[in-house]
Amino acid sequence: MTDGTALATSARVGAAMAPEEARPGAGRQAMNAALQPTLAELSRPGRGGGKVPHPPADALARIPASALRSAPLALPELNEPEVVRHFVNLSHLNYSVDSGFYPLGSCTMKFNPKLNEWAARLPGFATLHPLAPDELAQGTLELMHELQEALAEISGMAAVTLQPAAGAQGELTGILMIRAYHAARGDVARTEVIVPDSSHGTNPATASMAGFRTVTVPSAADGGVDLAALKDALGPHTAAVMLTNPSTLGLFERRIVELLDAVHEAGALAYMDGANMNAVLGRFRPGAAGFDVMHFNLHKTFSTPHGGGGPGAGPVACNERLAPFLPAPLVVKAAPGSYRLERPEERASAIGRVRAYQGNVGVLVRAFAYIRAHGASGLREISDDAVLAANYLRQRVGQGYELPYAGPCKHEFVASGRALRQATGVRTLDVAKRLIDHGFHPPTIYFPLIVDECLLIEPTETESVETLDLFAEALLAILTEAHDHPERVKSAPTSAPVRRLDEASAARKPELRWRPMTGAGTPCPT
């Protein structure tokens, strides 16, 4: 991506806007002329039906009266150019990783090679029926088996399942395996899972879904886990400790050996949330360090465009003592050069399926292509570059924003707008909205919750230094604006297709059904 892409996108959007006073109802609506009528508003009776074959004259007579509608279905009627232009114009309103920088912390929104998209669309993968017999699915099974082995090598674990559809489901899979492990040993008193206060929100949710009570331990002053508090929380009721490493603060847990030793001495198991593996590929193997089970976010670390709900894949890797409990079926090697799925009841201790069929196979193909394209040295370089980019951007942003934790970060870092809010009343939310006017997607904000007015920023390894400089300069310019013209920042964005909304109302009272609008409130006047 070029350094000017995001700014050019902003300029296009700004040029499409009509003057505020020229737009009917603009003072009452959070929309501008870059938006367009809906399909229902564009519809005209009798338009666009010529390409659909007309039904037989007696078609309705063949349908039982009880199954007939009392009134015709009110579908929009448009011709083909209107439909195509409608959706193409809508697509131009989207911000995407192909058009600009996504600094979302904890998400790893990297640019993904188009070669992997080609691989995932090869007919042998894309059109294979999920119930195809093993003998007709040898190419896909071989790829999945090799991916299982590659992820085992990268993680330092003994075995891998590819089934889970995303990181959260991978977490649930790992914790269910831990529950099954303790149950198989008759250790049913272990009813608690410990999580740090900087954890992903899915960690405590996962523990609760698996029937455990969540115990939260605080972070130490350096951002790592408070080891004394962790040791106090460990006991005969502890089933597992869930740890993200590097953490959502962008910090590697420096006391990892002592921490894992304490967990195992208490008879508990250690789960690693692998969402941030992009920072440590080829540099840190969780299984070798002592973790018992972990998940990967293939759609973050190993290439798949994601966001907006998917697609994703969350393979789970584990050590030998947890391997018997992995979901079934795994892909196994049969005769030399052939592969198959495990047979029903072949591994009686398995926790069962966690996903229909074999998960999101297209994501698995992309990840396999990504790993094979880079190789071991290339994966190390990915992490080296991600860490370098994050530390460079951290130094630049730190020229104006508070950096709560000293020392270098890994792939992402936290900054705080607390001092800015105290001095000007401008909040982190305002800074994020103003970044849109500067042509950038905002970073993650207000997470982790333990950092006041938090900005969580992850540049990834795929952005140029020119792009990082532009982003840092935009953040620093907003800082100056906040002191000189705070209301300008508080009213942002002003150049986006949609102005600032009441986010609480949007979340609690969403409008999920389209209705025609009338009067001055109509966003698309006739």
Question: Measuring CA to CA, which residue among 217, 320, 308 is closest to residue 263?
Answer: 217
The answer as to whether 480 is a domain residue is: yes
318 and 178 in a common domain: yes
User: Strand (E) positions, 262-356?
Assistant: 269-274, 293-296, 316-318, 331-333, 339-341
The Cα diameter of the chain in Å comes to: 80
The answer as to whether 364 is a domain residue is: no
The answer as to whether 304 is a domain residue is: yes
402 and 334 in a common domain: no
Judge whether residue 6 has pLDDT over 60: no
Question: Measuring CA to CA, which residue among 330, 367, 368, 366 is closest to residue 347?
Answer: 330
Question: What per-residue confidence (pLDDT) applies to 498?
Answer: 84
Question: What per-residue confidence (pLDDT) applies to 311?
Answer: 86
Task: Mention every residue, 6+ apart, whose C-beta is less than 8 A from residue 195.
Answer: 203, 204, 207, 214, 215, 216, 217, 241, 242
Question: What per-residue confidence (pLDDT) applies to 309?
Answer: 66
164 and 33 in a common domain: no
**Averaged confidence pLDDT in the chain:** 90
Amino acid at position 143, single letter: L
156 and 194 in a common domain: yes
Question: Measuring CA to CA, which residue among 286, 291, 287 is closest to residue 268?
Answer: 291
Highest-confidence segment of 46-60, 66-80, 432-446: 432-446
Q: How many domains does the chain have?
A: 2
pLDDT digits (tens, 9 = 90+) for 360-392: 999 999 999 999 999 999 999 999 999 999 999
DSSP characters over 412-467? -EEEE-HHHHHHHS--HHHHHHHHHHTT----EES-STTSTTEEEE---TTS-HHH
188 and 88 in a common domain: no
Judge whether residue 212 has pLDDT over 70: yes
Question: What per-residue confidence (pLDDT) applies to 499?
Answer: 86
The answer as to whether 370 is a domain residue is: no
> How many other C-beta atoms lie within 10 A of the C-beta of residue 228?
11
- Which residue range(s) make up the domain with 486? 1-18+29-46+77-112+377-518
205 and 167 in a common domain: yes
pLDDT digits (tens, 9 = 90+) for 154-200: 999 999 999 999 999 999 999 999 999 999 999 999 999 999 999 98
Task: Mention every residue, 6+ apart, whose C-beta is less than 8 A from residue 204.
Answer: 193, 195, 214, 216
Judge whether residue 357 has pLDDT over 50: yes
For the record, the structure tokens of 107 come out as 């998400």
Return the H-helix or E-strand segment holding 139.
helix 138-155
155 and 271 in a common domain: yes
Question: What per-residue confidence (pLDDT) applies to 172?
Answer: 97
**Secondary structure class of 333 (helix, strand, coil):** strand
| 228 close to 180: Cβ distance less than 8 angstroms | no
| 103 close to 71: Cβ distance less than 8 angstroms | no
pLDDT band of 49, cuts 50, 70, 90: low
Mark which of 289, 324, 359 sits at the end of a domain: 359
404 and 500 in a common domain: yes
The answer as to whether 64 is a domain residue is: no
The answer as to whether 51 is a domain residue is: no
For the record, the structure tokens of 225 come out as 């886990």
CATH number at residue 413: 3.90.1150.10
101 and 144 in a common domain: no
382 and 343 in a common domain: no
282 and 137 in a common domain: yes
pLDDT digits (tens, 9 = 90+) for 125-134: 999 999 999 9
| 272 close to 245: Cβ distance less than 8 angstroms | yes
250 and 173 in a common domain: yes
Span 97-112, average pLDDT: 93
Judge whether residue 438 has pLDDT over 90: yes
Question: What per-residue confidence (pLDDT) applies to 2?
Answer: 32
